[in-house]
Amino acid sequence: MNQFSFIVCISIAGIISCKPKTEASTENTTTAAPQDTIHYDQEKHLANVRQLTFGGDNAEAYWSFDSKKLTFQATRKAWNTSCDQIFMIDITQPLDTSKAPQLISTGKGRTTCSYFMPGDTTILYASTHEADAACPPSPERVVGGKYVWPIYPSFDIYIADLKGNIKSKLTNSPGYDAEATVSPKGDKIVFTSIRSGDLEIYTMDMDGSHVHQISHDLGYDGGAFFSPDGSKIVFRASRPTTPEDIKSYKELLAQNLVQPTQMELYVCNTDGSDLHQLTHLGKANWAPYFLPSGDRIIFSSNHAGTKGFEFNLYIIGLDGNGLEQVTYDKVFASFPMFSPDGKKISFSSNRNDKGTHDTNLFVADWVN
- pLDDT tens-place string over residues 183-226: 999 999 999 999 999 999 999 999 999 999 999 999 999 999 99
User: Of residues 308 and 124, which shows the higher confidence score?
Assistant: 124
CB atoms within 10 A of CB 294: 14
Q: E-assigned strands of 162-284?
A: 166-169, 177-182, 188-193, 200-205, 212-213, 221-226, 232-237, 257-258, 264-269, 276-277
- pLDDT tens-place string over residues 173-185: 999 999 999 999 9
pLDDT exceeds cutoff 50 at 153: yes
In angstroms, rounded to a whole number, what is the distance separating the alpha carbons of residues 262 and 258? Answer: 11
Instruction: Find out whether 90 and 72 touch, Cβ atoms under 8 Å.
Output: no
pTM (two decimals): 0.91
In angstroms, rounded to a whole number, what is the distance separating the alpha carbons of residues 65 and 246? Answer: 40
In angstroms, rounded to a whole number, what is the distance separating the alpha carbons of residues 222 and 240? Answer: 15
- pLDDT tens-place string over residues 89-128: 999 998 888 899 999 999 999 999 999 999 999 999 999 9
How many independent structural domains does the chain possess? Answer: 1
In angstroms, rounded to a whole number, what is the distance separating the alpha carbons of residues 15 and 9? Answer: 8
pLDDT at 37: 79
CB atoms within 10 A of CB 193: 26
- pLDDT tens-place string over residues 238-291: 999 999 999 999 999 999 999 999 999 999 999 999 999 999 999 999 999 999
- pLDDT tens-place string over residues 9-32: 443 333 335 544 433 333 444 444
Q: What is the CATH number of the domain that holds 151?
A: 2.120.10.30
Structural domain of 70: 4-366
